[in-house]
Amino acid sequence: MKDMNAKQAFNLGRSYHEKGNLAQAEKIYEAVLQVDPHHAEATHNLGMIFAARGLREEAIEYVKRSLELDGSNPNFHNNMGELYRIAGQIEHAQFHLSAACELKPGFSEAFSNLGIIHMEKGEIDDAKYCFAEALASNPKNVNALINTGNLFRKTGNFNDAIECYEAVLELSPDNPTALICAAISHNEIMDYNNAAKYYSRLVANRPELQKEKLALAEITLRNKDFRKGLKLYEARFNVFNILKGDRETLWRGTGLEGKTLYVYYEDTVICGLGDTILFCRYLHELEKFNPGKVVLQLQPELAELFEGQMPDFVELTTEDVQEFDVHSPLLSLPMILNARAKTIPLANGYLKAEPANRETDKIRIGYAFNENIDQNALSLFEADDRVEIFPLEGTMKEKADKAASADLVITSDNEIVHLAGAMGIKTCLLLEENHHWRWFRAKTEKTSEWYSSVTFYIKEKGADWLNVISSIKV
């Protein structure tokens, strides 16, 4: 570099930068600034190196300095705007991105980035204009195509969104953003087969994408492919802090003679009380392994309900267990046992309760609704003199006893449907059209594979819950 002038040195640094050798590029840019402290491009490019390393504050400082040296450079304004947008400083971002678009008409990337700002602010028409300008200048701008797709998705136009993502994949077949957005869009319109296809392409050769692998697992399970789906579902180990023992002692179906198997509930955003009730049925299947003892750790809320309801070889606790030979999260049992959707065990029920005293000959309907369903939706039954309705409230044991005294339970997708289903109580489950995977592809007036006493009632697009509930016959 001794024989180079600042321009030659900068070009060498830029060459290293473009090849991804950031360390060498940084050294050269710094050397350029030693010779020419007012070199705007070297200052800017140093800022972008800091940005690539996640050093946001340093990046903003250097790009801001480059704009002080050359305020008419549209690239500087574009990158400054993006840095501010990522930092959440939306107004600053909009100022610089607007400047980039004014300084360089047809600047595709700047228009695309400005469109993101408008979209985040809910300014849909302005976002549409910016993305259209970006694509008019460069129809193959991958970011602009993805952003246009995201705008369609935001406004509920999922088919149009999918077209944008597919256009990206024609240009860049392995683009991860387009793949995940296409998968999500297909899932939203309940095109689960195509959603699975895109998730499969996404996670192939990307072991770091465990959340996406878990999403693929749920879609696969929704399609009743337990063989593949349950194995994929083990990805939750890498997404949530589930395991209560090391991986070397994870039980994987070996003999349990004289051994203690520790099975524990899963405390995550995708698992709750209902999942414990749902999957505890598989404990009955463990008898064939002749276990010395199975210790089941339950949520405290379920302890009283489960007392005396499990096989003799199962010991209940609400505390973490320290002494065991092998361990397993509860939701891994179906995978270990090679469960299949066509042969779900104990669908007729496996829990009991003590029915509350009946003081009436009326048809008793217990209900438990989530926040999205108003109790007024039961007005039809309230007006029927033959019917008495009551909420299923209290502890889980109290809810079970109340449910046991009901002729019918009407419930949202919550722990009550699992409680009533596991007790074999006639139950109407109210579901959104796009519901949780555990109900597979539920259809109105069809029975659940998990619980033979549970019948689905689906709220289709445009309907309301009153219409759905009024279709229930008592």
Domain 247-343 is of which CATH architecture? 3-Layer(aba) Sandwich (3.40)
Q: Edge-to-edge strand order for the sheet containing 260-264?
A: 314-317, 293-297, 260-264, 326-329
* Strand-pair partners of 4: none
pLDDT at residue number 359: 75
pLDDT at residue number 328: 99
Catalogue the E-assigned strands of 23-139: none
| Fold match between domain 247-343 and domain 363-470 | yes
pLDDT at residue number 2: 59
pLDDT at residue number 379: 87
Q: How many angstroms separate the CA atoms of 134 and 126, rounded?
A: 12
Q: How many angstroms separate the CA atoms of 387 and 363, rounded?
A: 5
pLDDT at residue number 112: 98
pLDDT at residue number 148: 98
With a CB cutoff of 8 Å and minimum separation 6, the contacts of 429 are 411, 412, 413, 417, 439, 442, 448, 454, 455, 456, 457
Read off the tokens for 385. 């003199």
Read off the tokens for 125. 């028409």
Find out if CATH 3.40.50.450 is the number for domain 363-470: yes
CA distances (Å), 142 to each of 145, 333, 401, in order?
5, 43, 58
pLDDT at residue number 1: 55
With a CB cutoff of 8 Å and minimum separation 6, the contacts of 251 are 261, 326, 327, 328, 336
With 0-12 CB in 10 A as exposed, 13-18 as middle and 19+ as buried, what is 92? middle
N-terminal to C-terminal alpha carbon distance within the chain:
88
Q: How many angstroms separate the CA atoms of 453 and 309, rounded?
A: 19
Q: Maximum Cα–Cα distance for the chain, whole Å? A: 102
**Residue ranges per structural domain of the chain:** 6-233, 247-343, 363-470
Query: What is the pLDDT tens value at each position of the chain, 474 positions in all?
Result: 555 788 888 999 999 999 999 999 999 999 999 999 999 999 999 999 999 999 999 999 999 999 999 999 999 999 999 999 999 999 999 999 999 999 999 999 999 999 999 999 999 999 999 999 999 999 999 999 999 999 999 999 999 999 999 999 999 999 999 999 999 999 999 999 999 999 999 999 999 999 999 999 999 999 999 999 999 999 999 999 999 999 999 999 999 999 999 999 999 999 999 999 999 999 999 999 999 999 999 999 999 999 999 999 999 999 999 999 999 999 999 999 999 999 999 999 999 998 877 777 899 999 999 988 888 889 888 888 999 999 999 999 999 999 999 999 999 999 999 999 999 999 999 999 999 999 999 999 999 999 999 999 999 988 899 999 999 988
Find out if CATH 1.25.40.10 is the number for domain 6-233: yes
Give the 3-state secondary structure of residue 391: strand
Taken as a whole, the chain contains a residue count of: 474
